């Protein structure tokens, strides 16, 4: 009987000891355990739900569409010979002989003469003469490249008037006129020789201006041998 009581008392003591010790160990384990950090996925999902979609803005300027260059024909099918004065000593000429003009030449003189003839420019000096007077004071002839359609011409004669002819020289020496140009005058290459005797000296201009400021009339100035300022000074 005594042994039974001793066994019961031992079991009771173990139960009390377990009750006192186990809760403390459980709390200590929970305290030592690191808290788990929440993931950011819910926050990101929430931000995506409330934030509107913002389109990407491009800072690059739109590249303009490159259009094809307009076609500029080299020939227009028009018979013409044009001359211009580049400076006091040089002329520039360009021309075009269309197919109709070529056919007329071949019909009259033959294709062989077209192929064997020389293309030439004739420059006529007609300064002071009637318009397009054949021959003029003088002329010079320039042999051209067979396929040339423009030419720079050194004249070396400022203040002279010229016109040009485009033609072909046959093997027998005959000159066949094709085109005639406009007339052009080269500019002068020096200071003007014109002298105006009515120009006044600076001192005389101020002298007349001072007399006018004191009340001299035009009649009084003329009586004193002075012309009015507005008629004497030409600027």
Does 231 score more than 60 pLDDT? no
pTM of the model: 0.55
Phi, psi of 86 (to 5 degrees): -80, -40
Confidence of residue 142 (pLDDT cuts 50, 70, 90): very high
CATH architecture designation of domain 80-185: Sandwich (2.60)
**Annotated domain spans of the chain:** 80-185, 202-232
* Residue 165, pLDDT score: 96
Structure confidence by residue, pLDDT tens digits, 33-84: 555 655 555 555 555 555 556 666 666 776 666 667 788 888 899 999 999 9
Task: Please state, rounded to an integer, the average pLDDT across all residues of the chain.
Answer: 77
The answer to whether 118 and 169 have CB atoms below 8 angstroms apart is: yes
Residue with token string 């003189």: 109
pLDDT digits (tens, 9 = 90+) for 44-53: 555 555 555 6
């Amino acid at each position: 009987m005594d042994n039974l009581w001793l066994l019961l008392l031992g079991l009771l003591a173990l139960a009390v000891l377990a009750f006192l010790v186990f809760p403390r160990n459980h709390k200590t384990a929970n305290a030592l355990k690191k808290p788990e950090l929440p993931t950011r996925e819910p926050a990101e999902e929430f931000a995506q739900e409330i934030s509107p979609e913002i389109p990407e803005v491009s800072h690059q300027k739109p590249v303009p569409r490159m259009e094809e260059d307009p076609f500029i024909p080299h020939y227009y099918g028009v018979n013409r010979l044009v001359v211009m004065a580049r400076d006091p000593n040089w002329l520039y000429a360009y021309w075009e002989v269309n197919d109709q003009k070529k056919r007329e030449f071949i019909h009259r003189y033959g294709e062989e003469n077209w192929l064997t003839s020389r293309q030439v420019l004739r420059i006529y000096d007609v300064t002071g003469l009637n318009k397009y007077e054949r021959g003029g004071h003088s002329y010079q002839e320039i042999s051209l490249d067979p396929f040339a359609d423009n030419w720079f011409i050194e004249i070396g004669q400022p203040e002279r008037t010229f016109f040009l002819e485009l033609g072909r020289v046959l093997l027998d020496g005959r000159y066949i006129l094709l085109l005639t140009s406009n007339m052009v005058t080269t500019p002068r290459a020096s200071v003007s020789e014109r002298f105006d005797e009515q120009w006044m000296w600076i001192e005389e201009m101020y002298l007349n201006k001072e007399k006018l400021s004191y009340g001299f009339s035009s009649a009084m100035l003329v009586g004193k041998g002075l012309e009015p300022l507005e008629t004497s000074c030409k600027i």
